[in-house]
A and B are shown apart, each in its own frame.
Chain A
Amino acid sequence: KQEVTQIPAALSVPEGENLVLNCSFTDSAIYNLQWFRQDPGKGLTSLLLIQSSQREQTSGRLNASLDKSSGRSTLYIAASQPGDSATYLCAVREAGNQFYFGTGTSLTVIP
């Protein structure tokens, strides 16, 4: 069964700093990988989707990479802002419809 791990579990950085969130998964036979943002008590907002054939995706200050063979993905956030404070979840999707979610990284950006 697919297992998804995110490190670190929590991260606190000063505003303006660049940061990297890590995601690892145990089974490399994935269809795609997606990074989500979750604000407290809220649902999920999709940030970036990387297909299994892709190496990275970029959106604004966010860049996500995927190394499927090693079972790793990173989310890079440039010039962090207090509004980036949230929990970030990565999820892998296999050939079926099921997502396997990581436990999340809780990010706090200090003004």
Chain B
Amino acid sequence: GAGVSQSPSNKVTEKGKDVELRCDPISGHTALYWYRQSLGQGLEFLIYFQGNSAPDKSGLPSDRFSAERTGGSVSTLTIQRTQQEDSAVYLCASSHPPPIGRSEQFFGPGTRLTVL
């Protein structure tokens, strides 16, 4: 079956521009997570969706970051006025709702964002 897909796979942008990253979760997975991995760092939690609502946005690093999810499926992570420190691999994961879904989150291949 289809796994989690993300687009684009790579994105190069200039400092100050806005970018949108897309995640298509596994069908039927109501829980969706965004993480990012900066160079030499572990995976850092950004935001959690259950259905279309985001009960945990505690990992978003600044108000330049926002995310939405529509139809309980596709999610978009938007970074406004990108900065060089935003350069990272942005990973999306989906799972069945907690607590069942805690046993495994399924990750997409990520979007590598480079801000020049």
A and B interact: no
Residues of A bordering B, CB below 8 Å: none
User: B residues within 8 Å of A by Cβ?
Assistant: none
